[in-house]
Structure 1
């Protein structure tokens, strides 16, 4: 295999640990209606599924009849406290530094809405330096469709086979495979107990961010 030219990353659950702030937004929505809050473990299991996953879990069938209202309430609360307890996963800063040293390009491809992505990323200088950022509404489709990942690769100036995609959700692996990239499952991310990531057929798995370097070195970075 030729040298890897670029690594594309999911955001929530891969680069940033956003579960606490997303869980707080959900609990604020519940609190506004006099409902009991949910624990952080719920947010950690569902954060990769965004506002829909969190609200659907909390509201069940009611979510589908109040979708627009509940999603707006969630996004308003989240935007008002988007980076209170959100942090880079341990090792991410070092990983990005090593990739820069190896002259491997990076991009972010997330299903998070663009306005929230662009509000959040500047809090973290290591991420703000990543110029190619594709959000869930950048194109007409989002992951698991491969187009957002291909769009990012094109913006970087590389073919899909020269890129790897790293994410923590099934949609990430599906999208990466459909795009023709090597895929890496971030096992440290937001994977629910009921999910079966071994069936997602990622090319590689990592238990923490810096493990990515071991796989890349096998491909002559």
Structure 2
């Protein structure tokens, strides 16, 4: 069931990164396929990789090399994947269509926006810089900034604190069940980015989000529909 947070004035929007704010799948798939070629395996079609990108390097290695690798071999491949990816993490990555307008509109309305991701900081910081967003975002919380990661709510609560906002005035937008779980546990409004990396086996309708958005621009309409107007002082 969706959370029962009362409508309020939305003062902050927090975004997941991969599959929500930015389309990172081409660069992630390219890194995986380079790793496969290094290991005498043919490249995988992009369609076989895309919907697993939100689950990070562990998922990439499982897609590329299977689930039955010895632990040492798995970790060696994962480290090599991260080396390859970090060397070209913004070659093809862009904001999802319409997201640039969304960010500009939030800024024009005085609504703070930030990023909360499980992606490690050594990848997120240069990626956000390459997208030209470092100075614009109110916060950037990476997966290794705190001991906990999503679905634990700690990183979202930390982001709200960095924005100097009560969690109840924030919404969190993501494309994975852990995003919605974390947002609900943090007492935030939760929204599903249906344009993200959601494979056919997942059931977003069971995640309990407050709503599902079809495209980034829908966020602005959702905020308008779910915010109470800010009271203005009486001149009487």
TM-score by structure 1 length?
0.96
Residue 157 (structure 1) aligned with residue 156 (structure 2): no
Q: Tell me the CA shift for residue 56 of structure 1.
A: 1.2
**CA deviation map 1:168-191 (0-9, x unaligned):** 111101110111111000000000
- 2:217 corresponds in structure 1 to 210
Residue 55 (structure 1) aligned with residue 56 (structure 2): no
Tell me which stretches of 4 or more aligned residues in structure 1 moved more than 3 Å: none
Q: Which of the numbers 30, 35, 49 marks the counterpart of 1:29?
A: 35
- 1:68 corresponds in structure 2 to 75
Q: Report which stretch shifted further, 34-43 or 107-116.
A: 34-43
Q: Do the aligned partners of residues 179 and 39 (structure 1) sit closer, same or farther apart at CA in structure 2, a change above 3 Å counting?
A: same
Q: Distance in 1 between matches of 2:77 and 2:68?
A: 10
Q: Tell me the CA shift for residue 127 of structure 1.
A: 5.3
Matches within 5 A, 1:37-52: 37-52=43-58
Check whether the contact 1:51–1:75 (CA below 8 A) recurs between aligned residues.
Answer: yes
- 1:174 corresponds in structure 2 to 181
Q: Tell me the CA shift for residue 80 of structure 1.
A: 1.0
TM-score by structure 2 length?
0.90
Residue 12 (structure 1) aligned with residue 18 (structure 2): yes
Q: Distance in 2 between matches of 1:210 and 1:160?
A: 23
Q: Which of the numbers 129, 134, 138 marks the counterpart of 2:141?
A: 134
- CA-based RMSD: 1.3
Check whether the contact 1:121–1:128 (CA below 8 A) recurs between aligned residues.
Answer: no
Which has more helix, going by share of residues? 1
Q: Distance in 1 between matches of 2:166 and 2:48?
A: 38
- 2:198 corresponds in structure 1 to 191
Q: Distance in 1 between matches of 2:144 and 2:31?
A: 21
Check whether the contact 1:19–1:86 (CA below 8 A) recurs between aligned residues.
Answer: yes
Q: Distance in 2 between matches of 1:20 and 1:64?
A: 28
- 1:116 corresponds in structure 2 to 123
Q: Which structure's CA Rg is the greater one? A: 2
Q: Tell me the CA shift for residue 130 of structure 1.
A: 0.8
- 1:86 corresponds in structure 2 to 93
Q: Do the aligned partners of residues 128 and 168 (structure 1) sit closer, same or farther apart at CA in structure 2, a change above 3 Å counting?
A: farther
